[in-house]
Amino acid sequence: MIEELACRTRLRKPLDLLTLHSLGYKVLDFGSGDILSQAMWRMNSIGDQCVEMTKCSPVIPTAELRRIRNNVVARYDSLRSNYSNVGGSLDSTGIVGSYGQVFDAMEGGNYCYYQSDQRLVDDIQSCAVGANQILQAGFNQFAQNFSGRLAPMRLASQELRSAASAATISVEPVITAYRRLWSLNFSFHLHAGVNGALDAMMSEYEQVMEGSNTLFDQGTERVQNYFEADFRQSNTVFSGFAKARDHWQNKDGAVGYGMYVDNIRMYQEALDKLSSYTVLDTPRNKQIFAEIDLHIADVKKEFASFPTFVQAVASAGFALDPNTSALKFFARQLILNLAQGAGQHFTSVIAPGRSLIGTGFSYLHGGKMPPHSEHKDGKDCDIFSEYFKVGASTYDEQKAKDMAVFLLRSGVTRLIYTNTAVVNHANSTVPGNAVATAGSGHETHMHFDVETATAMPA
């Protein structure tokens, strides 16, 4: 005889936890993750709907129901075992898989059974309720574990933010903070949609790790911007060398050389400032440092090209004009030797007891020497005597001729004097070195030089 049938029972996971919208992450070293597919369970709702006995069929045999119940209990025990092993784990794969197996073992959960088998159904229902409780407890533990790992990362992220906002001349604090944050990174494989607190922390984790790259870029870009600005300033200072060189060449050699020296000091200060930076090893920065190296090489080479001449000193028959700036009494040693030799000859032969007067040679480091068009390269000399002043009462053409002949015989490569008669006499007397020329502006003195191909154009 068929026993009284129980109401048809449909089982589902309570607390609305059957449907797991999974957003699980399996974070590797750089936080990449996979997303588990959506887990949909077959259960719907726990509810009893009594129906007529004739409609409750077919009846599930006790043996079959017992098999289902035993299978559910076994899967439930496995779930409990997984939960007991959670510990400090951040991998919910096992517990979620066991949880799903509990309900899969129910084989639909829609039973028509004998009243005497109620205890079997009660066991199945008990496992369903317990499974949900274990799942909740497990994810509470996962949340606790996650919180412990996230806390130091949160602090490290704040340190990185501070380092990025304070970055000025070095990227090292930013890199250090960035590395510290990433050294605290951890792997996890957790399902979302089960525990709200855990979901919020996983979202925060994602924001922290993604934001770390933004903070790193912000900090290093701040340093790069300062570095680029100071590099541009160093280029502005570098352009001052060309201005100084132009002034040296075309306006005033002493002033231009002083400008160059001052600019070296300013450029060194600019380089010292640049050298205090620590920047990223990028193609752009390699280009900047290469350009700086070229500039430094150019400055060294150019500065070394400035000549340094010998200071003229008075000697027997040769005096320095007190009305000429002392800055203008520098020349090559050969020129000084010729000038002193001319003075010795002048005082001993041409005008005994009298002296020639040097009116100017070149600047110590050469360059334009106003009002002269030459006298730039230490190869020029002007000698003055009252006997050389054409048209003056003291003028003595013979003494002028004698001096001109002496200079040509001494090997000068050019002699300029206004009196044509003196020039012609000297050239005819020393035909092997007939380099004397008549030129205006030399009525009071003679100009001679050696190697007229000067370092700078006239």
Token digits of residue 212: 């770390």
Whether residue 455 lies inside any domain: the answer is no
Reading the block at residue 67, the tokens are 């098999």
pLDDT of residue 350: 97
Confidence of residue 55 (pLDDT cuts 50, 70, 90): low
Residues 231 and 174 occupy one common structural domain? no
Q: Provide mean pLDDT across the span 58-67.
A: 93
- Domain assignment present for residue 387? The answer is yes
Residue 143 and residue 27 share a domain: yes
Q: Could you tell me if 379 and 372 are in contact, meaning their C-beta atoms sit under 8 angstroms apart?
A: no
Domain assignment of residue 61, yes or no: yes
Among 305, 335, 358, where does a domain finish?
305
Quick: pLDDT tens for 170-196. 999 999 999 999 999 999 999 999 999
Tell me the per-residue pLDDT of 201-218, one tens digit each, with 9 for 90 and over. 999 999 999 999 999 999
The three state secondary structure string of the chain is: CCCCECCEEECCCCCCCCCECCCCEECCCCCCCCCCCCECCCCCCCEEECCCHHHCCCCCCHHHHHHHHHHHHHHHHHHHHHHHCCCCCCECHHHHHHHHHHHHCCCCCEECCEHHHHHHHHHHHHHHHHHHHHHHHHHHHHHHHHHHHHHHHHHHHHHHHHHHHHCCCECHHHHHHHHHHHHCCCCCEECCCCCHHHHHHHHHHHHHHHHHHHHHHHHHHHHHHHHHHHHHHHHHHHHHHHHHHHHHHHCCHHHHHHHHHHHHHHHHHHHHHHHCCECCCCHHHHHHHHHHHHHHHHHHHHHHHCCCCEECCCECCEEECCCCCHHHCEECHHHHHHHHHHHHHHHHHHCCCCCEEEEECECCCCCCCCCCCCCCCCCEEEEECHHHCCCCCCCCHHHHHHHHHHHHHCCCCEEEECCHHHHHHHHHHCHHHCCEEECCCCCCEEEEECCCCCCCCC
Whole domain around residue 381: which residue ranges? Answer: 310-449
Looking at the fold, whether 72 and 94 belong to one and the same domain comes out as yes
Model confidence pLDDT, tens digit, residues 83-105: 999 999 999 999 999 999 999 99
Residue 321 lies in a domain: yes
* Lookup result for tokens 């060398």: 241
Asked if 281 and 344 sit in the same domain, the reply is no
pLDDT of residue 280: 96
Question: 154 to each of 15, 72, 160, 205, 427, how far by Cα in Å?
Answer: 32, 42, 10, 8, 96
360 within some domain? yes
Same domain, 234 and 381: no
The pairing of strands 356-360 and 318-320 is parallel
Cα separation, 326 vs 72, whole angstroms: 113
pLDDT of residue 108: 85
The count of domains in the chain is 3
Q: Which of 40, 37, 34 has the alpha carbon at shortest distance from 17?
A: 40
Q: Give the number of C-alpha atoms closer than 13 A to the C-alpha of residue 302, restricted to the C-beta side.
A: 21
Question: Does any domain span residue 208?
Answer: no
- 360-409 per-position pLDDT tens digit: 899 999 999 998 888 999 999 999 999 999 999 999 999 999 999 999 99
* % of the chain exceeding 70 in pLDDT: 86
Answer yes or no: do 116 and 233 share one domain. Answer: no
Contact (Cβ atoms closer than 8 angstroms) between residue 263 and residue 310: no
430 and 356 share one domain: yes
Residue 282 makes CB contacts below 8 A (sequence gap 6+) with none
Query: Do 24 and 103 sit in the same domain of this protein?
Result: yes
Give the whole-angstrom CA distance, residue 298 versus residue 245: 13
Residue 336 and residue 286 in one domain? no
Is 378 inside a domain boundary?
yes
Q: Which of 279, 305, 331 is the last residue of a domain?
A: 305
100 and 71 fall within a common domain: yes
User: Are 361 and 443 found together in one domain?
Assistant: yes
Residue position matching structure tokens 């002033």: 255
Determine the pLDDT at residue 38: 27
250 within some domain: yes
- Cα gap 76→127, rounded to integer Å: 6
Domain CATH for 434: 3.30.1380.10
Half-sphere exposure of 316 (CA within 13 A, CB side): 8
Which of 305, 335, 366 finishes a domain?
A: 305
18 and 143 fall within a common domain:
yes
